[in-house]
Amino acid sequence: MNQRKYSVFIDNVASCNDRYCGAYGRSYTMEEKFDRVKSIPLLSAVDIVLSPDFMNDKERIRENVQRTGLKVAAVAVDTFADPVFQKGSFASTDSGIRELAMQRAREAIDFAKSVGCSIFTTWPGQDGYDYLFQADYIKERTLFQEAMAELCDYSPDMSITMEYKIKEPRTHSYISTVGMALLMCEAVGRDNLGIALDYGHAALGYETPAESAAICKMYGDRLKHIHINDNYRLWDDDMIVGSVHTLEFVEFIYWLRRTGYQGYMTLDQFPYREDGRDAVAESAEWLDYLESLVDNADMDEIAEVIKKNDAIAASRLMRKLLQGRIA
């Protein structure tokens, strides 16, 4: 049986805001958030987005990590919610803005080290463009490339990961697809640069997430972290795991096993109207169940079916996998 390593973004167990409502539930203290995560038996870690507020609360985070015994799976830097980054962060043509993004990234890396975490994540959501003739595609991508190289060199023992997304908040993102992310890894040329694959982002970009994981292995073994959620492919809905693409999750898990992924799977969802703790717990139960289906499968049999390139045989296999039968 595969060892389960599940984490959650700490704020996802609290109350979330959408475009129209500031929050559908009450606010929670830092201690309450950690306790809500700790109350979910399948979770052993948290992911931290080092927002400006959290930047000023790092010691309190460390205290709660120690108090609860939870690990920190990954630390992300917030270069997307602050309006100062509205026209870019690591790819900004304003040297002052770019240096601010780098400063915050270095601080997040240092914090990650202080809590025993070896994964740093950047989601460059503001690095992109909205209109034609608005961006210098070559210059801005070059600036982003140089920033990633600098961060990799700043901490060679840290996995520096890029989370790609096809769009939002910009209409076009520079790190938009798994292919673009792998191309940036190749251009930067550092072994510690990798990819944080968000299942929902891959689905939104009309990728097959299992294939995305496979080619991350194929081109440099770059898959270092995973965010898990679900959506209808029209938007980044961040829904309960398995609630839409159940079979695709099974194939995704199979390919994670086949490619030897050993990292965390972090629940990244926005339960706007549901209780955050309960929605996250449900995702964890779904993920554990879907992993058990692969546990009970014959990996050699799956490989043989794939080798046949036969749609009917693949369909039969899918039914068998959903029944949870040991071959």
Question: If you average pLDDT over residues 216-244, what whole number do you get?
Answer: 97
Phi-psi region at 133: left, alpha or beta (left = phi > 0; alpha = psi -120 to 50): left
| CA separation for the pair 76, 305 (Å, rounded) | 39
Confidence of residue 241 (pLDDT cuts 50, 70, 90): very high
Q: In one letter, which amino acid is 28? A: Y
Dump pLDDT digits (tens) for 293-310.
999 999 999 999 999 999
Whose tokens are 């306790």? That residue is: 35
Predicted pLDDT of residue 156: 98
Which class for 295: exposed (0-12), middle (13-18), buried (19 or more C-beta within 10 A)? middle
Query: What sign has the CA pseudo-torsion 95, 96, 101, 102?
Result: positive
| CA separation for the pair 317, 201 (Å, rounded) | 27
Confidence of residue 316 (pLDDT cuts 50, 70, 90): very high
Question: If you average pLDDT over residues 40-57, what whole number do you get?
Answer: 93
Say which range, 10-19, 83-92, 126-135, 194-203, has the weakest mean pLDDT: 10-19
Say which range, 16-20, 100-104, 160-164, 239-243, has the weakest mean pLDDT: 16-20
| CA separation for the pair 61, 47 (Å, rounded) | 11
Confidence of residue 327 (pLDDT cuts 50, 70, 90): very low
Q: What is the pTM of this model?
A: 0.96
Confidence of residue 54 (pLDDT cuts 50, 70, 90): confident
Q: In one letter, which amino acid is 299? A: M
**Percent of the chain whose pLDDT exceeds 90:** 91
Predicted pLDDT of residue 1: 63
Dump pLDDT digits (tens) for 160-207.
999 999 999 999 999 999 999 999 999 999 999 999 999 999 999 999
Give all domains of the chain, ordered by start, each with its CATH number: 6-295 (3.20.20.150), 298-327 (no CATH)
